[in-house]
Structure formats: C-alpha cells, structure tokens
Amino acid sequence: MRYKNKTKSIRIVFRLIVGLATILFVLSFTNALNAEDVTSHKGRFWKIKRAKCGDTLENGRFELRKNLNCDEDPAITIIGPAKLNLNGKTLSGNGDNVCIQINGEGAKVWNGTVTNCADGVVIAGTGRHKVFRIRSMDNDGIGFKVDEDSNDNWLSDNEAIGNLEENFLIEQESDGNHLINNKAEDGEDRGYYVRGSNNCLYKNKAYGNRDDALRINNGNNNRATYNIFSGTEDGEGVEIQSIENFVRNNIIKQNVRGMRIRDDHNVVKENIIISNGQEGIRVESSENLISSNFILNNGQEGIRVQESTLNIISRNLIKNNGFNESDPEDIRDGLKLEDGANETTLTRNLVFNNSGNGINVNEGAIENTIEHNIAMRNGVDDTYYDALDGNTDVDGNPNCDENNWRENYFGTKDPENCID
C-alpha cells in the first residue's frame, strides 16, 4: 500500500514538472513571438532588434517597427553580415543625408521605402550584399548607388522612381554586380548608369527617364539582356561608351534615339529597336558586331554608320524607318554609311519600305563589302533607290570599285552597271 502511494506521488510530481516545463516553454515561445524573434539556421532563436534613426547595425537581425523620419547622416548604417528588414515601413531623410548606408560584406536589406534623402541606398564595403524589394523614390540624388570597389552585389525587384540624379548607378571599379528585375522610372537623369566591368543587367525596365535609359561608360564586359529601355525625354535608349559589352534580346523603344555606340568591340544582337525618334542605331566606333536585330519604325535612319572601320552589320531587318510625322520632308535611309565609314561589311540584311534609299553608301565611304542583302520597296518616290553608291563619280570612275557589291538583290539601284 505504502509502495503504491509513493508511486502515485512520484507520478503527480512528474506530471507537475512536465506541466510546469510546458507552461514555461509556451511562455518563452510567446515572449519570443512578442519580441518578434525568428529562427535562424540550425534551429536557434535570434532576437530581431529594433532599428532607429542614427543606428549602426552589426551582428544580427534588425527591423523597422514604424515609419522613421531621420536627420542623422546616414539615417541608418548597416554593416554586413547584419540584416535589415524594413518591414514594409518608410524611412525618410531631410534631403541632405543618405537613407541607408551599407558597409562590410554580405549585408541584406529588403522590404520597404526610402525617400527624401540625398541618396536612397548606398552600397559600399567589400560587397556581396543583397538589396531587394526596396523602393527608393523622390531623393535629391541617386536612388541606388553601388560604390567603387564594392563587388558582386545583388539588386533585385527594386524600384527607383523620380530621383534627381541616376536611378541606379554602378560606379567605376565596381565589378560583377547583378541587377535583376528592377524598375527605373521618371528620373531626372539616367535610368541605369554602369561604369564598372563584368556587370549583368537582366529583365530590368526603364521608363520615362530624362537622360539615357542605360548608359555603359568606362567599364567593359558588361551584359544587358532581356531588358526594356523606353521613353527617354532627351537621351538614348542605350548608349555605349566602353569596349567589349554585350547587348542582346532587349526591347528599346520610344526614346529620342534607340542606340548609340561610341566605343569599339561591342556586340548588339537580337534586339527589338522600334519607334525611336531619331536613328534606330548610330555607330560612331569600330569593330562592332550588329546582328539579327529588328529595327522598325524609327524616325530617322534604321542604322547609321559614321566615321569608323571594320564594323560588321548582318542579318538585321530594317523596315519602315525615316517616316517623321513632325517633319514629313525629312527623308532618311534604311542603312547608311557616311563619309569615312570604311571597311564595313553589310551582309544578309533585309531592308524594306524605308522613306529614303534602302542602302546608301555615301561618297567617301570606301573599301566596304556589301553582299547577300535584299532591299526592296524603299523610297517615297523614284528619286530614291534600294541601293545607292555615291562613289561612282570620284575621278570619273563609273565602276563602283571603291566598294565591293556582290550577290545582292535590289529592286532599284544606282549606278545600275556596277551594283550587283
């Protein structure tokens, strides 16, 4: 009997202990939730700390718990690998400060709005930072800035809207950054300005910026693919001022000019370049490849090549260019080589229905090869031709031997005796 009572007592005590432990666990878990703790890797709990104006955030996870209006400069500094969740809130400055300054390596910032600062988000330090789902708007300077020597950063799903300088800027000597699925809208300067090397722009959009939608300058080996660059007020859809860049599968539309290539060894391939006010593509440099683009409905020339050498222009569709509604008498050619555009290869292009000449090789454009092209139905009247070589009167030469025309198909041509 005594043994049974003792066993019963032990069971009661054990149940009390288990019950108390359960209560303590529930209370601690509830407190953790109230304090907004989260589980880190390996199942450990880390407290998410509150971020305030003027804070420098290190070694942990932080969040905004209310909208902040900060005079401190920077308003918030985060040093990687710390993490900051803006939690859907807005961080505002005084117009003269940086909203978020990122230093160190491997920081993460996401999910909120920064506004009314000098610069919205400045990414510095060693790099490898991640910035995503941030809206940077109405700042007096730059929306998102990647500083010199900060490399391999990842910016995705961000919006830069209405900033007075560049919406996105990658500084010189900032390399290997990825900009993916961002939007740059209604900025007073450029949409995307890339000055570093080996950077990748993929599936971004730019609308309604005053200057170029994308400018690549100084750095090289940058790639821009599957982006939309449109609606500039005073600039190009894409302007390239450096070497060995790759621009492919983009839509470039409704800009002042579609593209302007001002440095050598660039590849422009498989883009849709449509409804820009001036040229579809202007080439002012040498040894570029322009291939397999759709160049349609631009207000001036489809492709215009100025003084340069050894460019290859191949397999492009150049159609319905040179019809300027604001100036119907401004007649332009489909594909034009200006004086000094020498040693160019034009091959396998289709040139149709442009307001002026289809292919026009100006006097002074020499040693060019024009082969396997088709040009038809160009010219608003019979004073224009599908193919025209302006060098035939040089030294009384009627034989087009300044340029090599072979195996083309043209509806009309001048001079007929030497253009094949």
pLDDT in tens, 237-265: 999 999 999 999 999 999 999 999 999 99
Separation in Å, CA 378 to CA 71, 176, 316, 414: 62, 45, 16, 13
Instruction: Note the pLDDT tens digit of each residue in 3-57.
Output: 455 555 656 655 656 565 565 554 454 444 444 444 444 444 458 999 999 999 9
| Mean pLDDT in residue range 119-137 | 98
Quote the pLDDT of residue 291: 98
**Other C-beta atoms within 10 Å of 48: how many?**
19
- On whether residue 20 sits in a domain, the answer given is no
CATH number of the domain at 298, please: 2.160.20.10
Q: Does 371 fall in a domain?
A: yes
Bridge-based pairing state of the strands 350-352 and 317-319: parallel
Residue 214 lies in a domain: no
Tens digits of per-residue pLDDT, 197-229?
999 999 999 999 999 999 999 999 999 999 999
How far apart (Å, rounded) are the C-alpha atoms in residues 415 and 420? 10
**What angle (nearest 5°) sits at the alpha carbon of residue 109, between those of residues 125 and 168?**
70
pLDDT (tens digit per residue) in 279-327: 999 999 999 999 999 999 999 999 999 999 999 999 999 999 999 888 8
The yes-or-no verdict on residue 382 having pLDDT over 70 is yes
pLDDT at 393: 61
The reported pLDDT for the residue numbered 413 is 92
In a domain, 377, yes or no: yes
Domain that holds residue 400: 270-420
Please give the Cα distance from 302 to 47 (Å, whole number): 60
What is the DSSP secondary-structure string of 26-87? HHHHHHHHHTT-EE-GGG-EEPEEEP-TT-EE-SSEEE-SS-EE--SSSSEEEEET-EEE-T
DSSP labels for 321-380?
Answer: ----TT-TT----SEEE-TTEES-EEES-EEES-SS-SEEE-TT--S-EEES-EEES-SS
Terminal Cα distance for the chain, rounded: 119
Cross-strand pairs, 93: none
pLDDT tens sequence across 64-121: 999 999 999 999 999 999 999 999 999 999 999 999 999 999 999 999 999 999 999 9
Nearest 10 degrees: Cα torsion 273, 274, 278, 279: 40
* Residue 95 CB neighbours (<10 A): 12
Q: What is the pLDDT of residue 419?
A: 76
- Going from the C-alpha of 205 to that of each of 161, 168, 378, the distances in angstroms are 12, 11, 34
What are the tens digits of pLDDT across the range 172-192?
A: 999 999 999 999 999 999 999
Q: Which two tokens stand for residue 202?
A: 């993929």
Whether residue 24 lies inside any domain: the answer is no
Type of residue found at 7:
T
Give the rounded distance of the alpha carbon of 312 from its chain centre. Answer: 25
Between CA 167 and CA 154 the distance in angstroms is 16
Q: What is the H or E stretch that residue 405 is in?
A: strand 404-406
Contacts of 310 (CB under 8 A, 6+ apart): 286, 287, 343, 344
Round to whole Å and give the CA distance between 294 and 290.
Answer: 11
Q: Give the DSSP H or E segment for 2.
A: helix 2-34
| Residues 272/273/275/281 CA torsion (nearest 10 deg) | -170
Give the distance from CA 67 to its chain's centroid. Answer: 30
In a domain? residue 346: yes
Q: What is the pTM of this model?
A: 0.88
Q: How confident is the model at residue 392 (pLDDT cuts 50, 70, 90)?
A: confident
Residue 369 included in any domain: yes
Domain count, the chain: 1
pLDDT of residue 391: 85
| Residue 123 domain flag | no
**What separation in angstroms does the CA of 208 have from each of 228, 240, 354, 358?**
12, 19, 28, 32
Q: What is the pLDDT of residue 248?
A: 98
